[in-house]
Amino acid sequence: MSGLTGIVACETAISSIENGVLRYRGYTIDDLATKATFEEIIYLLWYGRLPNRLELTALKQDLLESAVLPKKIYDLLHLYEPWGNAMAKLRTCVSFLTHFDDEVMDHSFAADHRKAIRIMARMAAIVAAIERIRTDLEPIEPDAIQFTSLAEMFLWLLKGEKPEPLAAKALDVCLVLHAEHELNASTFASRVTVSTMSDIYSGIVSAIGTLKGPLHGNANEQVANMLEDIGDISRVEEYIAGKIARKERIMGFGHRVYKHGDPRAKYLKELAKELGEWRGDTRWYDMSAKIEQLVFAKKGLMPNVDFYSASVYTYLGIPRDLFTLIFAISRTSGWMAHILEQHDNNKLIRPRAQYIGKKHDQWLPIEDR
Ligand code: SDX
């Protein structure tokens, strides 16, 4: 069995997936999706318990004050052609942030937590700046406006105007749902990187590069491409039958761990329906619901976190090639929790490999090759 399927690679107290139930620090995703804000999730993941009102206010203030970017980040983004890959821009900008942080190699608990807050807040500001600069708009300075949450800040910085409360709330729920997911590929990559005592920024850059893949975080953008290809609900049946006949992967379906459905999908499905009705155009939701029904009937596969996210982000007016960057903003909270946990009780992560190559008993001098 390849891909380390079923292999337990480390112990963690951050999240669990047992019998199809996802928990962050012991709280079920059902409670968190319906009752928690993203800032409460950040605090819960990093400090191991829910914050009281004072702690939550302090964290939110720290985050919103830390979102201001070094101006050279904007200069860097101006070097890119507008069509440059957005995840690659994010990966490069986070790497460049190292240059402005004099605590990079200080792995103390206090320094790690200060860096975690800076990186968490700046991820959202960078994604908004990517969009503003590639559309010839000036980035909006995060300290120019009083925001009430990272979700509201992101939408405001992205679109240049205060978001509707429903939109900010919907994005906040998406950030809660995408925050953490045990030892997924990008989280594992971040732990391997910092287990060498490399810096936190390198851990996040490794994670961004890993999340970029279509089998992991980029599936949400691929789902949107599929919905656009299909175009109309009348074409769904023929389109899905074709993909199945050609044995092609249907993006947004299946999961390595969940074999009876991703518990996050139902909340994203509800959001997609609510936002579609709010926008007065439920086409993408309707097509998605029909695809879900068909793929389950024909392949026994159920939607994962990426499937309905495509419709939600589209209804929120987020450009399609930024969907995976939204995932990265949210999962920075989970990546950071795992990096802090790894640093707290570090052991270099270095597994073994089964050699299946040739054996050569005798050296062959070059003249005989
Ligand atoms: C995320 O790990 C995480 O936690 C990730 C994530 C998180 O929160 O971090 O949950 C986020 O990355 C969700 C997954 C997003 N990716 C996609 O939606 C891409 C499409 N999905 C698949 O490629 C697949 O389902 C995976 C990669 C998600 C999981 O694949 P596995 O566990 O490696 O399963 P597999 O590839 O061995 O497939 C088992 C069978 C195969 O059939 P056979 O070849 O044995 O006949 O199921 C089939 C696959 O062909 N299958 C699919 C399918 N997913 C599995 N067939 C069609 N479409 C699919 N989507």
pLDDT tens digits along 138-183:
999 998 888 999 999 999 999 999 999 999 999 999 999 999 999 9
Give the pLDDT confidence score for residue 145 in this predicted structure: 86
Cβ pair 228, 288 in contact under 8 A = no
Strand order across the beta sheet in which 21-24 lies: 15-18, 21-24, 27-28
Tokens found for residue 17: 């997936």
Q: Do strands 15-18 and 27-28 pair parallel, antiparallel, or not at all (unpaired)?
A: unpaired
Q: CB of 33 closer than 6 A to ligand 1?
A: no
- Ligand 1 atom nearest 244 alpha carbon: 57
User: What percent of the chain lies above the pLDDT cut of 90?
Assistant: 96
Cβ pair 85, 214 in contact under 8 A = no
How many Å lie between the centroid of ligand 1 and the Cα of residue 241?
Answer: 18
Give the pLDDT confidence score for residue 143 in this predicted structure: 87
- Ligand 1 atom nearest 211 alpha carbon: 12
- What φ, ψ does residue 222 adopt, rounded to 5°? -65, -35
Average pLDDT over residues 9-13: 96
Q: CB of 259 closer than 6 A to ligand 1?
A: no
Q: Name the burial class of residue 135, with classes exposed (0-12), middle (13-18) and buried (19+) by CB atoms within 10 angstroms of its CB.
A: exposed
100-125 confidence digits (pLDDT tens) = 999 999 989 899 999 999 999 999 99
The C-alpha atoms of residue 15 and residue 21 are separated, in whole angstroms, by 10
Question: Whose alpha carbon is nearest atom 34 of ligand 1?
Answer: 256
Cα 124 from chain centre: 12
Q: CB of 338 closer than 6 A to ligand 1?
A: no
Instruction: Count the neighbouring beta carbons within 10 Å of the beta carbon of residue 24.
Output: 24
How many Å lie between the centroid of ligand 1 and the Cα of residue 95?
Answer: 30
How many Å lie between the centroid of ligand 1 and the Cα of residue 356?
Answer: 26
Residues recognised as catalytic: 255, 306
Give the pLDDT confidence score for residue 259 in this predicted structure: 86
End-to-end Cα distance, the chain: 36
248-298 confidence digits (pLDDT tens) = 999 999 999 998 899 999 999 999 999 999 999 999 999 999 999 999 999
How many Å lie between the centroid of ligand 1 and the Cα of residue 210?
Answer: 16
Cβ pair 151, 172 in contact under 8 A = yes
Average pLDDT, the chain: 96
Give the pLDDT confidence score for residue 41 in this predicted structure: 98
The C-alpha atoms of residue 19 and residue 28 are separated, in whole angstroms, by 12
- Name beta bridge partners: 15: 24
39-86 confidence digits (pLDDT tens) = 999 999 999 999 999 999 999 999 999 999 999 999 999 999 999 999
Give the pLDDT confidence score for residue 1 in this predicted structure: 56
Cβ pair 100, 70 in contact under 8 A = yes
177-212 confidence digits (pLDDT tens) = 999 999 999 999 999 999 999 999 999 999 999 999
Nearest Cα to 270, choosing from 169, 152, 150? 169
Q: CB of 27 closer than 6 A to ligand 1?
A: no
Nearest Cα to 206, choosing from 342, 12, 73, 68? 342
Domains of the chain by range and CATH?
27-213+320-344 (1.10.580.10), 219-315 (1.10.230.10)
Give the pLDDT confidence score for residue 2 in this predicted structure: 83
What's the number of CA atoms in the CB half-sphere (13 Å) around residue 173?
27
Q: CB of 169 closer than 6 A to ligand 1?
A: no
User: What percent of the chain lies above the pLDDT cut of 70?
Assistant: 100
Average pLDDT over residues 11-28: 97
- 3-state SS, the chain, equals CCCCCCCCCCCCCCEEEECCEEEECCEEHHHHHHHCCHHHHHHHHHHCCCCCHHHHHHHHHHHHHCCCCCHHHHHHHHHCCCCCCHHHHHHHHHHHHHHHCCCCCCCCHHHHHHHHHHHHHHHHHHHHHHHHHHCCCCCCCHHHCCCCCHHHHHHHHHHCCCCCHHHHHHHHHHHHHHCCCCCCHHHHHHHHHHCCCCCHHHHHHHHHHHHCCCCCCCHHHHHHHHHHHHCCHHHHHHHHHHHHHCCCCCCCECCCCCCCCCCCHHHHHHHHHHHHHHHCCCHHHHHHHHHHHHHHHHHCCCECHHHHHHHHHHHCCCCHHHHHHHHHHHHHHHHHHHHHHHHHCCCCCCCCCCCCCCCCCCCCCHHHC
